[in-house]
Structure 1
Amino acid sequence: MKNRLLITVIAAVLLGGVAVGYTVLSGASPEEAAHSVPTGDGPRLMMLSNGKLSTVSRNDPAGSRDVTEQRCDRVYAAAGTISCLRPVGALKAGELAVLDSQLKELKTVPLTGFPNRTRVSASGRMVAWTLFVDGHSYAANGFSTSTGILDTKTGTLVHSLEEFAVEGMSQRPVDVNFWGVTFTADDNRFYATMSTGGHRYLLEGDFAARRVRLTGQENVECPSLSPDGTRIAYKAAVNGDPQQGWRVSVLDLATKKITPLAETRSVDDQPAWLDDRTVAYGIQRDDGLNDVWAVPADGSGTPAVLVPEANSPAPW
């Protein structure tokens, strides 16, 4: 693992040489922004536009958007708390930045790896993130992830879920990886994915007790808990093989019923619930740009572009 971390740091430095021009062109330091995030004109959607934190009206998501100078590789927000996974810069690895609605920096956490996923609990208290430490795809063999959680109220920081005990495992396999955290309403329990031996499992975690347990559900990646806490949207490997792509699906936690959604293209993203009826996600286009799509959570309807040329959606 030390060798992997060293390789990642070196890669980050090399990428920084490329990223320096990108950062300079932004015209602002990471702490600066064009303005605070708009909140007063009805429901909004937060996302990234060309790497910049942006918002758009939920009533007109394809319309004009407010774009700040805050750059992130991934973003998520809830209850006035924004989690921004900042990209690598010149001679600098990435970091987690926790911001308020005025884009004031509340806390930063240095990170070593490539930003991949982030989530904020509904109350805004808990923040989680996932990085690729080795590899850049969940479909690749030999990838390695690092997933951490921050309690913004107490300041408690867990750098890696590998610090947690796994119920029923006296000895953790060397190939275990965790990713894709989603929080329950109590700000203590959470769901995430654990992989080992070529299988991906849904797990439930207890932050205070520092332990996780397998729920018995396999092939559940990047879970996202619905606002009412009854269902999990996730990506399921087609035929259990990530090389064949992923299908966005919804798991009913009470009945264990699985509903594949109407989106039949491969979606390599952690879905985001816009409300209890709608799931959003990003899909990369052939030209390399991303669009945010939305689809009904009950398996009906037809996928539709929600916000063009954007990614990393979150209700705001």
Structure 2
Amino acid sequence: MTLRARILIAVAAAALLGGAAVLYVARSAPAVSTPESTGTVRPGPRLQVLTNGVLSTVSLADPRGPRAVTDRRCDRAYAANGMLACLLPVDALTATRLVVLGPDLRERHSVALTGFPNRLRVSASGRMVSWTVFIDGHSYATTGFSTRTGILDTRTGAQVESLEEFTATIDGRPHRAVDTNFWGVTFAADDTRFYATMSTGGKRYLVEGDLAAKTVRTLAENVECPSLSPDGTRIAYKAAVDGDPQRGWRLSVLDLPTLRVTPLAEPTSVDDQPAWLDDTTVAYALQRDDGTNNVWSVAADGTGEPRLLVEGANSPAVVPS
């Protein structure tokens, strides 16, 4: 079977399954229609989201208020410091593509990709962009899937086509295996260090990477889709329940200096790479029964309860102004 055929099958399967993760506690959100017209968003910090796959923004102070909707379609999106990254949707005729846009939404960079769009991040400076696509499979809850994760330096144009090119160590020992996969990059403030998930041998690790040295090293197990806090001290992530992704994931926070884990107050399985709203709050998407998404937030210290932020949306990212 050709790679294009596998991608089309994955697209069809994803559409049928709706990307639903296994839930170990069910919670439904109100079914509402999502806005399709441009509203007047309050000035100040904004939250960028995708509304039915269309790039949109809402006021961070009033995220359930008016929504400014563009005509830019993305399967995944993320923004930081004026740079916006978008993974274009796959269809029967075209493969996905990474496009990097400026504040005016004009295209600055473009990278042709093969696979099904999955994860996307921009470093805090706006310089580095990372993406993950599924090459085979379409769910992290299964076995036998294959991913490809790359990184683009928007300043120099240098590109890492796959993190599998890097030298990996597990607990200090060199490691190389054909079953190794990477996904969910998050960048440190220096634009050289990064964190990601590496799976191999039936285990899923948090790794710290060095772009200059082209190395990754393991830090902890059962850490998927990491997101580094603004102060650089904690990782928000999804942790497989009892180490088994088929049982779903618990949203958690890892303290990097101590490796202490704090499960968050979201009881529903979260199959998403979370985003930090600030140093105390984490945002993420949950899928509704009708197949669309809502953006929620929860305190990063394990207290409180989830709060519905934006209805009918996913891919949250804070835009300061």
TM-score by length of 2: 0.87
Is 1:150 aligned to 2:152, yes or no?
Answer: yes
Alpha-carbon distance change, 103 to 39 in structure 1, aligned in 2, over 3 angstroms = farther
Q: In the alignment, what sits opposite 1:30?
A: none
- The one-letter code sitting in structure 1 at the alignment partner of 2:304 is G
The separation in 2 between residues aligned to 1:235 and 1:89, in whole angstroms, is 29
- Of 259, 262, 265 in structure 2, the residue corresponding to residue 262 of structure 1 is 265
Is 1:179 aligned to 2:177, yes or no?
Answer: no
Show the 5 A alignment for 1:96-135.
96-135=98-137
Q: 1:103-138 CA distances to partner (integer Å, 9 max, x unpaired)?
A: 000011001000000000000000000011111100
Deviation at residue 5 of structure 1 after TM alignment: 3.1
The separation in 2 between residues aligned to 1:101 and 1:186, in whole angstroms, is 22
Deviation at residue 232 of structure 1 after TM alignment: 0.3
The separation in 1 between residues aligned to 2:120 and 2:189, in whole angstroms, is 17
Q: In the alignment, what sits opposite 1:204?
A: 208
**What's the secondary structure of 1:204's corresponding residue?**
strand
Identity rate, percent: 66
Deviation at residue 277 of structure 1 after TM alignment: 0.5
The answer as to whether partners of 1:248 and 1:267 remain within 8 angstroms in 2 is yes
Alpha-carbon distance change, 171 to 249 in structure 1, aligned in 2, over 3 angstroms = closer
The separation in 2 between residues aligned to 1:42 and 1:9, in whole angstroms, is 40
Q: In the alignment, what sits opposite 1:234?
A: 237
The answer as to whether partners of 1:245 and 1:267 remain within 8 angstroms in 2 is yes
The answer as to whether partners of 1:4 and 1:133 remain within 8 angstroms in 2 is no
Q: In the alignment, what sits opposite 2:294?
A: 291
Deviation at residue 197 of structure 1 after TM alignment: 1.3
Alpha-carbon distance change, 39 to 191 in structure 1, aligned in 2, over 3 angstroms = farther
Show the 5 A alignment for 1:6-85.
6-8=4-6, 11=9, 41-85=43-87
- The one-letter code sitting in structure 2 at the alignment partner of 1:307 is V
- The one-letter code sitting in structure 2 at the alignment partner of 1:262 is A
The separation in 1 between residues aligned to 2:214 and 2:12, in whole angstroms, is 36
Alpha-carbon distance change, 39 to 163 in structure 1, aligned in 2, over 3 angstroms = farther
Deviation at residue 41 of structure 1 after TM alignment: 1.3
- Of 3, 21, 25 in structure 2, the residue corresponding to residue 5 of structure 1 is 3
The answer as to whether partners of 1:189 and 1:205 remain within 8 angstroms in 2 is yes
- The one-letter code sitting in structure 2 at the alignment partner of 1:144 is S
Q: 1:191-246 CA distances to partner (integer Å, 9 max, x unpaired)?
A: 0000011110000000111111111x100000000000000000000000000000
Q: 1:54-101 CA distances to partner (integer Å, 9 max, x unpaired)?
A: 000011100110000000000000000001000124521010000011
Q: Report 1 or 2 for greater relative contact order, CA contacts < 8 Å, sequence distance ≥ 6.
A: 2
Structure 1 unaligned regions, length at least 5: 16-33
The answer as to whether partners of 1:81 and 1:99 remain within 8 angstroms in 2 is yes
Alpha-carbon distance change, 202 to 171 in structure 1, aligned in 2, over 3 angstroms = closer
Structure 2 unaligned regions, length at least 5: 14-36
The separation in 1 between residues aligned to 2:73 and 2:9, in whole angstroms, is 20
Alpha-carbon distance change, 282 to 227 in structure 1, aligned in 2, over 3 angstroms = same
The separation in 2 between residues aligned to 1:78 and 1:266, in whole angstroms, is 27
| More deviation, 165-174/295-304 | 165-174
Alpha-carbon distance change, 40 to 99 in structure 1, aligned in 2, over 3 angstroms = farther
Deviation at residue 169 of structure 1 after TM alignment: 5.3
Deviation at residue 102 of structure 1 after TM alignment: 0.6
> Which of structure 1's runs of 4+ aligned residues deviate more than 4 A?
9-15, 168-171
**What's the secondary structure of 2:6's corresponding residue?**
helix
Q: In the alignment, what sits opposite 1:163?
A: 165
**What's the secondary structure of 1:243's corresponding residue?**
helix
Is 1:193 aligned to 2:173, yes or no?
Answer: no
The separation in 1 between residues aligned to 2:285 and 2:279, in whole angstroms, is 18
Give the RMSD, CA atoms, in angstroms. Answer: 2.0
Alpha-carbon distance change, 13 to 311 in structure 1, aligned in 2, over 3 angstroms = closer
Q: In the alignment, what sits opposite 2:252?
A: 249
- The one-letter code sitting in structure 1 at the alignment partner of 2:279 is D
Deviation at residue 256 of structure 1 after TM alignment: 1.3
- The one-letter code sitting in structure 1 at the alignment partner of 2:311 is P
Deviation at residue 10 of structure 1 after TM alignment: 5.5
TM-score by length of 1: 0.89
